[in-house]
Structure 1
Amino acid sequence: MFGSGLWASSESQHPDTGISVLVLGDSISAAYGIDKRDGWVALLEQRLEPQCASVKIHNASVSGETSAGGLQRLPSLLAAHQPQLLVIELGANDGLRGLSPKQMSRNLQHMVDLAEAAGARVVLLGMLMPPNLGAAYVRLFEQAMSDVGDDESVLFLAFFLKDVAGNRRLLQADGLHPTAAAQPRLLDNAWEVLQQPLTAICHATLAVTRL
Protein backbone atom coordinates (compact mmCIF):
# COMPACT_ATOMS: atom_id res chain seq x y z
CA MET A 1 0.00 0.00 0.00
CA PHE A 2 0.98 3.60 -0.26
CA GLY A 3 2.98 4.73 2.73
CA SER A 4 0.92 6.37 5.44
CA GLY A 5 0.92 10.13 5.28
CA LEU A 6 2.65 10.07 1.90
CA TRP A 7 1.21 13.39 0.75
CA ALA A 8 -0.23 14.65 4.04
CA SER A 9 1.55 18.02 3.91
CA SER A 10 -0.03 19.07 0.62
CA GLU A 11 -3.41 17.38 0.42
CA SER A 12 -5.20 20.13 2.30
CA GLN A 13 -3.56 22.92 0.25
CA HIS A 14 -3.82 21.61 -3.30
CA PRO A 15 -6.95 20.09 -4.83
CA ASP A 16 -6.41 17.00 -6.97
CA THR A 17 -7.00 17.31 -10.70
CA GLY A 18 -8.66 13.90 -10.88
CA ILE A 19 -7.44 10.43 -11.74
CA SER A 20 -9.44 8.04 -13.89
CA VAL A 21 -8.93 4.27 -13.83
CA LEU A 22 -10.96 2.01 -16.11
CA VAL A 23 -11.46 -1.67 -15.26
CA LEU A 24 -12.63 -3.81 -18.16
CA GLY A 25 -13.34 -7.32 -17.00
CA ASP A 26 -15.77 -10.19 -16.73
CA SER A 27 -17.75 -11.63 -13.82
CA ILE A 28 -14.65 -11.81 -11.61
CA SER A 29 -14.34 -8.02 -11.64
CA ALA A 30 -18.10 -7.46 -11.84
CA ALA A 31 -18.43 -9.04 -8.37
CA TYR A 32 -20.74 -11.77 -9.61
CA GLY A 33 -22.85 -13.32 -6.85
CA ILE A 34 -21.73 -10.92 -4.12
CA ASP A 35 -22.40 -7.34 -3.08
CA LYS A 36 -20.52 -5.06 -5.48
CA ARG A 37 -19.26 -3.10 -2.48
CA ASP A 38 -17.35 -6.23 -1.44
CA GLY A 39 -15.73 -6.79 -4.83
CA TRP A 40 -12.01 -6.32 -5.37
CA VAL A 41 -12.55 -3.23 -7.55
CA ALA A 42 -14.47 -1.47 -4.79
CA LEU A 43 -11.79 -2.52 -2.31
CA LEU A 44 -9.15 -1.03 -4.59
CA GLU A 45 -10.87 2.34 -4.52
CA GLN A 46 -11.03 2.16 -0.73
CA ARG A 47 -7.33 1.36 -0.57
CA LEU A 48 -6.42 4.32 -2.74
CA GLU A 49 -8.72 6.89 -1.20
CA PRO A 50 -6.66 7.95 1.86
CA GLN A 51 -3.64 9.02 -0.20
CA CYS A 52 -5.16 9.64 -3.63
CA ALA A 53 -8.61 10.94 -2.84
CA SER A 54 -9.48 12.11 -6.34
CA VAL A 55 -9.10 8.70 -7.96
CA LYS A 56 -12.24 7.49 -9.70
CA ILE A 57 -12.45 3.86 -10.71
CA HIS A 58 -14.90 3.16 -13.52
CA ASN A 59 -15.83 -0.50 -13.40
CA ALA A 60 -17.05 -1.48 -16.86
CA SER A 61 -16.88 -5.21 -16.15
CA VAL A 62 -19.72 -7.39 -17.42
CA SER A 63 -20.45 -10.99 -16.46
CA GLY A 64 -19.85 -13.32 -19.38
CA GLU A 65 -17.71 -10.82 -21.26
CA THR A 66 -15.18 -12.09 -23.79
CA SER A 67 -12.15 -10.38 -25.27
CA ALA A 68 -14.17 -9.63 -28.42
CA GLY A 69 -16.93 -7.99 -26.41
CA GLY A 70 -14.46 -5.94 -24.43
CA LEU A 71 -12.73 -4.79 -27.59
CA GLN A 72 -16.04 -3.71 -29.09
CA ARG A 73 -16.92 -1.61 -26.05
CA LEU A 74 -13.48 -0.14 -25.38
CA PRO A 75 -13.39 2.84 -27.77
CA SER A 76 -16.53 4.41 -26.30
CA LEU A 77 -15.32 3.70 -22.77
CA LEU A 78 -11.97 5.38 -23.43
CA ALA A 79 -13.75 8.41 -24.86
CA ALA A 80 -16.17 8.61 -21.94
CA HIS A 81 -13.73 8.14 -19.07
CA GLN A 82 -10.33 9.22 -20.48
CA PRO A 83 -8.44 6.93 -18.11
CA GLN A 84 -4.80 7.25 -17.19
CA LEU A 85 -4.82 3.51 -16.48
CA LEU A 86 -6.72 0.65 -18.11
CA VAL A 87 -6.99 -2.64 -16.23
CA ILE A 88 -7.93 -5.55 -18.50
CA GLU A 89 -9.28 -8.71 -16.88
CA LEU A 90 -10.60 -10.65 -19.85
CA GLY A 91 -9.96 -13.94 -21.57
CA ALA A 92 -11.34 -16.47 -19.11
CA ASN A 93 -14.66 -16.73 -20.95
CA ASP A 94 -12.85 -17.12 -24.26
CA GLY A 95 -11.07 -20.11 -22.78
CA LEU A 96 -14.05 -21.67 -21.05
CA ARG A 97 -15.98 -21.47 -24.32
CA GLY A 98 -13.12 -23.00 -26.28
CA LEU A 99 -12.66 -19.93 -28.47
CA SER A 100 -9.48 -19.37 -30.46
CA PRO A 101 -6.55 -18.38 -28.22
CA LYS A 102 -4.91 -16.64 -31.18
CA GLN A 103 -7.98 -14.49 -31.72
CA MET A 104 -8.12 -13.74 -28.01
CA SER A 105 -4.51 -12.60 -28.14
CA ARG A 106 -5.24 -10.35 -31.12
CA ASN A 107 -8.24 -8.85 -29.33
CA LEU A 108 -6.25 -8.15 -26.19
CA GLN A 109 -3.37 -6.65 -28.15
CA HIS A 110 -5.79 -4.40 -30.02
CA MET A 111 -7.14 -3.21 -26.66
CA VAL A 112 -3.61 -2.45 -25.51
CA ASP A 113 -2.94 -0.47 -28.69
CA LEU A 114 -6.17 1.51 -28.36
CA ALA A 115 -5.46 2.35 -24.73
CA GLU A 116 -1.92 3.46 -25.41
CA ALA A 117 -3.07 5.62 -28.32
CA ALA A 118 -5.46 7.28 -25.86
CA GLY A 119 -2.63 7.93 -23.41
CA ALA A 120 -3.43 5.20 -20.88
CA ARG A 121 -1.08 2.71 -19.32
CA VAL A 122 -2.25 -0.90 -19.39
CA VAL A 123 -2.38 -3.62 -16.76
CA LEU A 124 -3.35 -7.13 -17.87
CA LEU A 125 -4.65 -9.51 -15.21
CA GLY A 126 -4.04 -12.90 -16.73
CA MET A 127 -5.91 -16.16 -16.37
CA LEU A 128 -5.05 -19.84 -16.66
CA MET A 129 -7.37 -22.57 -17.87
CA PRO A 130 -8.30 -25.73 -15.93
CA PRO A 131 -6.66 -28.95 -17.14
CA ASN A 132 -9.98 -30.54 -18.09
CA LEU A 133 -9.95 -28.40 -21.25
CA GLY A 134 -7.07 -30.49 -22.52
CA ALA A 135 -3.33 -29.99 -22.24
CA ALA A 136 -2.90 -28.69 -25.78
CA TYR A 137 -5.58 -26.02 -25.43
CA VAL A 138 -4.32 -25.00 -21.99
CA ARG A 139 -0.83 -24.47 -23.41
CA LEU A 140 -2.13 -22.46 -26.36
CA PHE A 141 -4.23 -20.29 -24.05
CA GLU A 142 -1.35 -19.64 -21.67
CA GLN A 143 0.96 -18.74 -24.55
CA ALA A 144 -1.62 -16.44 -26.10
CA MET A 145 -2.09 -14.60 -22.82
CA SER A 146 1.64 -14.30 -22.17
CA ASP A 147 2.26 -13.05 -25.72
CA VAL A 148 0.27 -9.94 -24.86
CA GLY A 149 1.82 -9.72 -21.42
CA ASP A 150 5.30 -9.81 -22.95
CA ASP A 151 4.68 -6.41 -24.54
CA GLU A 152 7.14 -4.22 -22.66
CA SER A 153 4.51 -1.52 -22.23
CA VAL A 154 2.07 -3.89 -20.48
CA LEU A 155 2.17 -4.62 -16.76
CA PHE A 156 1.25 -8.29 -16.62
CA LEU A 157 0.07 -10.57 -13.82
CA ALA A 158 0.18 -14.15 -15.06
CA PHE A 159 -2.61 -15.54 -12.86
CA PHE A 160 -5.09 -13.22 -11.20
CA LEU A 161 -6.81 -16.07 -9.30
CA LYS A 162 -3.62 -17.23 -7.60
CA ASP A 163 -4.40 -18.80 -4.19
CA VAL A 164 -8.13 -18.56 -4.97
CA ALA A 165 -8.78 -20.96 -7.85
CA GLY A 166 -9.29 -24.48 -6.54
CA ASN A 167 -9.82 -23.31 -2.95
CA ARG A 168 -13.39 -24.36 -2.14
CA ARG A 169 -13.52 -22.10 0.90
CA LEU A 170 -13.01 -19.08 -1.37
CA LEU A 171 -15.31 -20.10 -4.22
CA GLN A 172 -19.06 -19.94 -4.63
CA ALA A 173 -21.12 -23.08 -5.10
CA ASP A 174 -20.42 -23.11 -8.84
CA GLY A 175 -16.73 -23.67 -8.13
CA LEU A 176 -15.77 -20.82 -10.46
CA HIS A 177 -16.63 -17.46 -8.95
CA PRO A 178 -14.80 -16.10 -5.89
CA THR A 179 -16.71 -15.36 -2.71
CA ALA A 180 -16.66 -12.09 -0.82
CA ALA A 181 -14.00 -13.59 1.43
CA ALA A 182 -11.73 -14.05 -1.59
CA GLN A 183 -11.85 -10.43 -2.72
CA PRO A 184 -9.04 -9.11 -0.48
CA ARG A 185 -6.79 -11.82 -1.93
CA LEU A 186 -7.72 -10.81 -5.44
CA LEU A 187 -6.91 -7.21 -4.59
CA ASP A 188 -3.54 -8.22 -3.17
CA ASN A 189 -2.82 -10.19 -6.32
CA ALA A 190 -3.75 -7.27 -8.55
CA TRP A 191 -1.80 -4.88 -6.33
CA GLU A 192 1.42 -6.59 -7.42
CA VAL A 193 1.08 -4.88 -10.80
CA LEU A 194 -1.17 -1.94 -9.89
CA GLN A 195 0.92 -0.36 -7.16
CA GLN A 196 3.66 1.03 -9.38
CA PRO A 197 1.53 2.75 -12.04
CA LEU A 198 -1.01 4.06 -9.53
CA THR A 199 1.74 5.49 -7.33
CA ALA A 200 3.29 7.19 -10.36
CA ILE A 201 -0.04 8.58 -11.56
CA CYS A 202 -0.97 9.91 -8.14
CA HIS A 203 2.46 11.54 -7.70
CA ALA A 204 2.26 13.11 -11.15
CA THR A 205 -1.22 14.46 -10.50
CA LEU A 206 -0.14 15.95 -7.20
CA ALA A 207 2.85 17.59 -8.87
CA VAL A 208 0.53 19.32 -11.36
CA THR A 209 -1.50 20.83 -8.53
CA ARG A 210 1.66 22.45 -7.17
CA LEU A 211 2.33 24.44 -10.34
Structure 2
Amino acid sequence: MRCVFLFLCLWGGAAAAQAPVQAPKILAFGDSLSAAYGIQASQGWVALLQQRLRQEGYPHVVVNASISGETSAGGLARLPAALGQHRPAIVLLELGANDGLRALPVKAMRGNLERMLQLSRDAGARPVLFEMRIPANYGPAYGESFTRSFTELGQATKTPVVPFFLMPIALDPANFQDDGIHPSAAAQPKLLEAVWPTLKPLLGRPR
Protein backbone atom coordinates (compact mmCIF):
# COMPACT_ATOMS: atom_id res chain seq x y z
CA MET A 1 0.00 0.00 0.00
CA ARG A 2 2.84 2.34 0.82
CA CYS A 3 4.32 1.88 -2.67
CA VAL A 4 0.95 2.57 -4.25
CA PHE A 5 0.58 5.73 -2.17
CA LEU A 6 4.02 6.96 -3.16
CA PHE A 7 3.29 6.23 -6.82
CA LEU A 8 0.04 8.19 -6.71
CA CYS A 9 1.76 11.15 -5.04
CA LEU A 10 4.56 11.17 -7.59
CA TRP A 11 2.15 10.78 -10.52
CA GLY A 12 -0.06 13.57 -9.21
CA GLY A 13 2.93 15.88 -8.81
CA ALA A 14 4.17 15.12 -12.31
CA ALA A 15 0.71 15.74 -13.79
CA ALA A 16 0.49 19.08 -12.00
CA ALA A 17 3.92 20.05 -13.26
CA GLN A 18 2.92 19.24 -16.81
CA ALA A 19 -0.40 21.14 -16.67
CA PRO A 20 -0.27 24.05 -19.11
CA VAL A 21 -0.13 27.51 -17.61
CA GLN A 22 -3.00 29.56 -18.95
CA ALA A 23 -1.87 32.73 -20.71
CA PRO A 24 -3.15 35.96 -19.14
CA LYS A 25 -5.93 37.59 -21.14
CA ILE A 26 -6.45 41.20 -22.13
CA LEU A 27 -10.10 42.07 -22.68
CA ALA A 28 -10.67 44.90 -25.16
CA PHE A 29 -14.09 46.23 -24.25
CA GLY A 30 -15.13 49.12 -26.43
CA ASP A 31 -17.20 50.44 -29.31
CA SER A 32 -16.63 50.78 -33.07
CA LEU A 33 -13.22 52.37 -32.54
CA SER A 34 -12.01 49.07 -31.13
CA ALA A 35 -14.30 46.78 -33.12
CA ALA A 36 -12.51 47.53 -36.42
CA TYR A 37 -15.61 49.10 -37.92
CA GLY A 38 -15.46 49.29 -41.72
CA ILE A 39 -12.21 47.37 -42.02
CA GLN A 40 -11.09 43.78 -41.61
CA ALA A 41 -10.80 42.66 -38.01
CA SER A 42 -7.19 41.69 -38.60
CA GLN A 43 -6.40 45.33 -39.50
CA GLY A 44 -7.77 46.86 -36.31
CA TRP A 45 -5.57 48.16 -33.51
CA VAL A 46 -6.73 45.38 -31.17
CA ALA A 47 -5.52 42.71 -33.60
CA LEU A 48 -2.30 44.65 -34.04
CA LEU A 49 -1.91 44.65 -30.27
CA GLN A 50 -1.91 40.85 -30.28
CA GLN A 51 0.79 40.90 -32.94
CA ARG A 52 2.89 43.34 -30.90
CA LEU A 53 2.61 41.20 -27.80
CA ARG A 54 3.81 38.12 -29.64
CA GLN A 55 6.65 39.96 -31.31
CA GLU A 56 7.91 41.31 -27.99
CA GLY A 57 7.58 38.01 -26.14
CA TYR A 58 4.53 38.65 -23.99
CA PRO A 59 2.28 35.63 -23.37
CA HIS A 60 -0.98 37.58 -23.23
CA VAL A 61 -3.98 36.63 -25.35
CA VAL A 62 -6.20 39.48 -26.51
CA VAL A 63 -9.97 39.02 -26.57
CA ASN A 64 -11.93 41.67 -28.45
CA ALA A 65 -15.43 42.06 -27.00
CA SER A 66 -16.04 45.48 -28.57
CA ILE A 67 -19.35 46.24 -30.29
CA SER A 68 -20.04 49.06 -32.73
CA GLY A 69 -22.50 51.60 -31.35
CA GLU A 70 -21.99 50.50 -27.75
CA THR A 71 -22.76 52.98 -24.95
CA SER A 72 -21.54 52.91 -21.38
CA ALA A 73 -24.94 51.57 -20.26
CA GLY A 74 -24.77 48.76 -22.81
CA GLY A 75 -21.23 47.98 -21.78
CA LEU A 76 -22.19 47.84 -18.12
CA ALA A 77 -24.94 45.35 -18.94
CA ARG A 78 -22.53 43.11 -20.88
CA LEU A 79 -19.41 43.31 -18.75
CA PRO A 80 -20.22 40.83 -15.95
CA ALA A 81 -20.75 38.01 -18.45
CA ALA A 82 -17.57 38.92 -20.35
CA LEU A 83 -15.54 38.95 -17.14
CA GLY A 84 -16.95 35.61 -16.09
CA GLN A 85 -16.31 34.02 -19.47
CA HIS A 86 -12.81 35.29 -20.16
CA ARG A 87 -11.37 36.00 -16.67
CA PRO A 88 -9.02 38.70 -17.98
CA ALA A 89 -5.94 40.03 -16.26
CA ILE A 90 -6.39 43.44 -17.90
CA VAL A 91 -9.52 45.21 -19.17
CA LEU A 92 -9.17 47.96 -21.78
CA LEU A 93 -12.31 50.05 -21.26
CA GLU A 94 -12.86 52.15 -24.38
CA LEU A 95 -16.41 53.43 -24.00
CA GLY A 96 -18.23 56.73 -23.71
CA ALA A 97 -17.92 58.18 -27.20
CA ASN A 98 -21.42 57.11 -28.19
CA ASP A 99 -22.81 58.57 -24.97
CA GLY A 100 -21.29 61.89 -25.97
CA LEU A 101 -22.46 61.73 -29.58
CA ARG A 102 -26.00 61.17 -28.28
CA ALA A 103 -25.58 63.98 -25.73
CA LEU A 104 -26.44 61.62 -22.90
CA PRO A 105 -25.93 62.89 -19.34
CA VAL A 106 -22.26 62.96 -18.38
CA LYS A 107 -23.07 62.03 -14.78
CA ALA A 108 -24.77 58.81 -15.89
CA MET A 109 -21.90 57.91 -18.20
CA ARG A 110 -19.34 58.47 -15.48
CA GLY A 111 -21.36 56.34 -13.09
CA ASN A 112 -21.50 53.51 -15.62
CA LEU A 113 -17.76 53.68 -16.26
CA GLU A 114 -16.98 53.80 -12.56
CA ARG A 115 -19.09 50.71 -11.99
CA MET A 116 -17.30 48.88 -14.80
CA LEU A 117 -13.92 49.76 -13.33
CA GLN A 118 -15.02 48.34 -9.99
CA LEU A 119 -16.47 45.20 -11.56
CA SER A 120 -13.18 44.62 -13.36
CA ARG A 121 -11.22 44.96 -10.13
CA ASP A 122 -13.62 42.71 -8.26
CA ALA A 123 -13.00 40.08 -10.95
CA GLY A 124 -9.23 40.31 -10.39
CA ALA A 125 -8.46 42.39 -13.50
CA ARG A 126 -6.54 45.62 -13.82
CA PRO A 127 -8.67 48.15 -15.73
CA VAL A 128 -7.42 50.79 -18.13
CA LEU A 129 -9.70 53.71 -19.00
CA PHE A 130 -9.64 55.41 -22.40
CA GLU A 131 -10.22 59.15 -22.54
CA MET A 132 -12.87 60.12 -25.07
CA ARG A 133 -13.69 63.45 -26.67
CA ILE A 134 -16.56 64.75 -28.80
CA PRO A 135 -16.86 67.36 -31.58
CA ALA A 136 -16.89 71.03 -30.65
CA ASN A 137 -20.41 71.56 -31.99
CA TYR A 138 -21.84 70.01 -28.82
CA GLY A 139 -20.92 73.19 -26.99
CA PRO A 140 -18.02 74.02 -24.69
CA ALA A 141 -19.84 73.33 -21.44
CA TYR A 142 -20.92 69.81 -22.37
CA GLY A 143 -17.68 69.01 -24.20
CA GLU A 144 -15.43 70.11 -21.37
CA SER A 145 -17.51 68.29 -18.77
CA PHE A 146 -17.48 65.16 -20.91
CA THR A 147 -13.72 65.07 -21.44
CA ARG A 148 -12.90 66.08 -17.87
CA SER A 149 -14.93 63.20 -16.50
CA PHE A 150 -12.40 60.64 -17.76
CA THR A 151 -9.42 62.34 -16.15
CA GLU A 152 -11.27 62.85 -12.89
CA LEU A 153 -12.51 59.28 -12.83
CA GLY A 154 -9.03 57.95 -13.49
CA GLN A 155 -7.61 60.01 -10.65
CA ALA A 156 -10.42 59.16 -8.25
CA THR A 157 -10.11 55.42 -8.86
CA LYS A 158 -6.34 55.35 -9.42
CA THR A 159 -6.89 53.87 -12.88
CA PRO A 160 -4.40 54.31 -15.75
CA VAL A 161 -5.91 56.51 -18.47
CA VAL A 162 -5.01 56.36 -22.15
CA PRO A 163 -5.03 59.96 -23.44
CA PHE A 164 -7.46 60.47 -26.33
CA PHE A 165 -6.03 57.94 -28.73
CA LEU A 166 -7.48 59.55 -31.87
CA MET A 167 -5.45 62.69 -31.22
CA PRO A 168 -2.43 61.55 -33.32
CA ILE A 169 -4.68 61.13 -36.37
CA ALA A 170 -7.44 63.68 -35.76
CA LEU A 171 -6.11 66.56 -37.89
CA ASP A 172 -5.60 64.60 -41.11
CA PRO A 173 -8.78 63.53 -43.00
CA ALA A 174 -6.72 60.92 -44.83
CA ASN A 175 -6.62 58.93 -41.58
CA PHE A 176 -10.37 58.34 -41.68
CA GLN A 177 -12.84 56.34 -43.69
CA ASP A 178 -15.38 58.04 -45.95
CA ASP A 179 -17.70 58.74 -43.01
CA GLY A 180 -15.06 61.02 -41.51
CA ILE A 181 -15.54 59.37 -38.11
CA HIS A 182 -13.94 55.96 -38.10
CA PRO A 183 -10.17 55.54 -38.54
CA SER A 184 -8.91 53.87 -41.69
CA ALA A 185 -6.92 50.65 -41.77
CA ALA A 186 -3.76 52.66 -42.41
CA ALA A 187 -4.34 54.67 -39.23
CA GLN A 188 -4.70 51.67 -36.91
CA PRO A 189 -0.97 51.32 -36.10
CA LYS A 190 -1.02 54.92 -34.85
CA LEU A 191 -3.88 54.06 -32.49
CA LEU A 192 -1.88 51.17 -31.10
CA GLU A 193 1.13 53.41 -30.59
CA ALA A 194 -1.10 55.78 -28.60
CA VAL A 195 -2.30 52.93 -26.35
CA TRP A 196 1.00 51.10 -25.85
CA PRO A 197 2.77 53.49 -23.41
CA THR A 198 -0.10 53.20 -20.91
CA LEU A 199 -0.57 49.46 -21.32
CA LYS A 200 3.04 48.25 -21.38
CA PRO A 201 3.82 48.91 -17.68
CA LEU A 202 0.95 46.59 -16.72
CA LEU A 203 2.25 43.61 -18.70
CA GLY A 204 5.21 42.62 -16.58
CA ARG A 205 8.35 41.24 -18.15
CA PRO A 206 8.20 39.43 -21.48
CA ARG A 207 9.15 35.78 -21.46
Greater Rg by CA: 2
Partner of 1:123: 128
SS of residue paired to 1:150 = helix
- The 2-side partners of 1:49 and 1:22 are apart by 16
More contact order relative to length (CA 8 Å, sep ≥ 6): 1
Deviation readout 1:173-202 (Å, 9 max, x if unpaired): 11110000110000000002111102x2x5
Q: Which amino acid aligns with 1:71?
A: L
Change (3 A) 1:193 1:82: same
User: 1:161 is matched with which residue: 159, 166, 176?
Assistant: 166
> How high is the TM-score relative to the length of structure 1?
0.85
Percent identity of equivalent pairs = 46
Partner of 2:116: 111
CA offset at residue 104 of structure 1?
0.6
Partner of 1:172: 177
Q: Which amino acid aligns with 1:29?
A: S
Equivalent positions of 1:77-156 (< 5 A) are 77-156=82-161
CA offset at residue 99 of structure 1?
0.3
2:38 is the alignment partner of 1:33:
yes
Partner of 2:49: 44
**Any stretches of 5+ residues in structure 1 without a counterpart?**
1-14, 207-211
Q: Which amino acid aligns with 1:119?
A: G
SS of residue paired to 1:122 = strand
- The 1-side partners of 2:76 and 2:57 are apart by 29
CA RMSD of aligned residues (A): 1.7
Contact 1:75 1:114 in 2 (8 A): yes
Q: Which amino acid aligns with 1:62?
A: I
Partner of 1:6: none
User: 2:188 is matched with which residue: 152, 159, 183?
Assistant: 183
How many correspondences in the alignment?
189
- The 2-side partners of 1:53 and 1:132 are apart by 42
> How high is the TM-score relative to the length of structure 2?
0.86
Q: Which moved more, 1:87-96 or 1:139-148?
A: 139-148
Q: Which amino acid aligns with 1:161?
A: L
- The 2-side partners of 1:139 and 1:153 are apart by 21
Q: Which moved more, 1:136-145 or 1:150-159?
A: 150-159
**Any stretches of 5+ residues in structure 2 without a counterpart?**
1-19
- The 2-side partners of 1:77 and 1:167 are apart by 35
Equivalent positions of 1:58-77 (< 5 A) are 58-77=63-82
